[in-house]
Structure 1
Amino acid sequence: MRVVSISVNGLEQAVGKGFFDWIAGQDADVICVQDHRMRAYEVEDRQLVPEGYEAYFIDGENNEDGGVGIYTRHFPKAIMYGFANEQADREGRFIQADFDKVSVACVLAPCALGLEDDPIGGDDLTVLDRKDDFMDAFGVHMQKTLRKRRQFIVCANLQSAHHVTDASPRYHKLDVSGFLPHERAWLDRLFEEMGSIDAFRDINKQSNQFTWWPEWAAGWRKQSGIRVDYQIATPGIRKTIQDGWIDDDTRFSDHAPVVMDYDIEIGF
């Protein structure tokens, strides 16, 4: 089974830049799309579904919140829209497809980079507070997920990097969301205390493996990136991981796709 995760900064613009042509050459079973920035019904209405795939999408109350979706070549047994967190579900940040032997989820965390102290709403909350609240709620959801008997792959743009090797040196010196100590500590809990698997890092220990190059970071596709896009696996998936890579030659958005191969038969 091949699983792709990609944050597109708007699905329609990504398709205009050749996203579906790229998909046609990937032989992927499941493609998780974050940050599609449109109404879910528009995906079908505007024919934004690659040939041979079914589409399942969720949007937020505001298109700018992003929204997530799943393209799959195999009909799922069930689709779960949201994870029972009011704020996250209103913003369209989670969708899950259940197949016979594995579930695949798609997740988009709020971005606070450069907006950390900006107020939001009328409760003296900041953009960083909103992101932290989401991460806390998603962490609780992952704890519940890890207690279940079935296996999960969670494709997520978490808007945060984990280790120093996951961020270029410039981020080590900046006090910005995405590499703050408490954000990295949250990832410590996810991958070390809870026992989730960072599928890409499980087989690739190299440095400079980045997935995001913010527009203000000079040096497109060079060494100014940060790895914020993950395929998070439950422990039983570890033995099935075969290969994985970041396709940083793409130009669909300022994120690169994460492609992972698993020794799992997804069909029935």
Structure 2
Amino acid sequence: MKIVSWNVNGLRACIKKGFFNYFNEIDADIFCIQETKLQAGQIEIELENYDQYWNYAAKKGYSGTAVFTKRKPLSVMYGLGDLFEDEEGRVITLEFDTFYLVNCYTPNSQRDLARLGFRLEWEDYMRIYLQELDRKKPVILCGDLNVAHQEIDLKNYKTNKGNSGFTDEEREKMTILLESGFIDTFRFLYPDKIDSYTWWSYMNKVRERNIGWRIDYFIISQRLAKLLIDSEIHSHVLGSDHCPVALKMNL
């Protein structure tokens, strides 16, 4: 099975930049996107052989997630259930026979860390949610999780310490999640691989010089590790300030 995740930073803009070229070429079984920046009725796309599931933010032109899947889910859930009210369209969960797939767009703490408190509260509820799912079936979590977990996961870690996405608090929340029964698939397979990033600033020539951050992940339940084939970063794919990431598993 091949699952792809991509923060498209506005689906309509990404479509104009070749979204469907990549979508058709990669031919994923499940394709997850974050930051759709859409409201219901603002776009109609025909995807042969795929069911579509959308979670829209209440605020126009903001956040939002979607999942396109060839495999019919048993059920679909939006948000974090009763744990946390999700008015920003950040989570879609698909239940399948043998696993849950959670597509997530984690809140950004903002440049001045004005939203750090909200972000940390979100992290706690998300972890509880994932653990509740994991007690029933193994979990695959994907998406833009808005944190570079380790120093190896961003180019300029020394000058970014304490900045949004690389605060001690955000990194610690990721550590706690992983220690609660999950693995970061990319670092599980490639613990020492450097210069592997998924997001680059739009500032001049930053992406060409590969001054990036790895903030897009596939996190899976530990007991799925034996089924893991590969966790890929498709940094050659343009169309957004993020690139797609892909998971291959023997499911």
Residue aligning to 2:122: 134
Task: With the length of structure 1 as denominator, give the TM-score of the two structures.
Answer: 0.87
2-side partners of 1:12 and 1:75: how far apart? 25
1-side partners of 2:47 and 2:109: how far apart? 31
State whether residues 60 and 92 of structure 1, in contact with CA within 8 Å, keep that contact through their aligned partners in structure 2.
Answer: yes
Following superposition, the deviation at residue 80 of structure 1 comes to 0.6
1-side partners of 2:231 and 2:29: how far apart? 14
* Equivalent pairs, count: 249
2-side partners of 1:2 and 1:15: how far apart? 21
Residue aligning to 1:74: 71
1:249 match: secondary structure: coil
2-side partners of 1:23 and 1:183: how far apart? 31
Residue aligning to 2:8: 8
Distance change in 2, residues 1:85/1:132 (3 Å): farther
Residue aligning to 2:109: 112
Structure 1: gaps spanning 5 or more residues: 117-125
Following superposition, the deviation at residue 113 of structure 1 comes to 3.9
Following superposition, the deviation at residue 152 of structure 1 comes to 1.4
Specify which structure has the higher proportion of helix. 1
- Residue number among 177, 180, 200 corresponding to 2:186 in the alignment: 200
Task: With the length of structure 2 as denominator, give the TM-score of the two structures.
Answer: 0.92
Residue aligning to 2:97: 100
> Is 1:181 equivalent to 2:178 in the alignment?
no
> Is 1:190 equivalent to 2:177 in the alignment?
yes
Distance change in 2, residues 1:155/1:110 (3 Å): same
Residue aligning to 1:146: 134
Distance change in 2, residues 1:72/1:165 (3 Å): same
2-side partners of 1:167 and 1:130: how far apart? 24
2:236 match: secondary structure: coil
State whether residues 83 and 125 of structure 2, in contact with CA within 8 Å, keep that contact through their aligned partners in structure 1.
Answer: no
Matches within 5 A, 1:1-268: 1-42=1-42, 46-84=43-81, 88-116=85-113, 126-148=114-136, 150-168=137-155, 170-174=156-160, 175-191=162-178, 193-205=179-191, 206-216=193-203, 219-264=206-251
2:140 match: secondary structure: strand
- What's the C-alpha RMSD, in Å, of the aligned pairs? 1.8
State whether residues 120 and 169 of structure 2, in contact with CA within 8 Å, keep that contact through their aligned partners in structure 1.
Answer: no
Identity of aligned pairs, percent?
A: 30
Q: Counterpart amino acid of 1:136? A: D
State whether residues 85 and 137 of structure 1, in contact with CA within 8 Å, keep that contact through their aligned partners in structure 2.
Answer: no
* Deviation by residue 1:168-223 (Cα, 9 ceiling, x = unmatched): 1x2322231111111111111111x2021111222123111111112247521433
State whether residues 50 and 70 of structure 2, in contact with CA within 8 Å, keep that contact through their aligned partners in structure 1.
Answer: yes
Distance change in 2, residues 1:159/1:24 (3 Å): same
Following superposition, the deviation at residue 87 of structure 1 comes to 5.6
2-side partners of 1:115 and 1:32: how far apart? 29
* Deviation by residue 1:98-133 (Cα, 9 ceiling, x = unmatched): 1222221100111124242xxxxxxxxx32222222
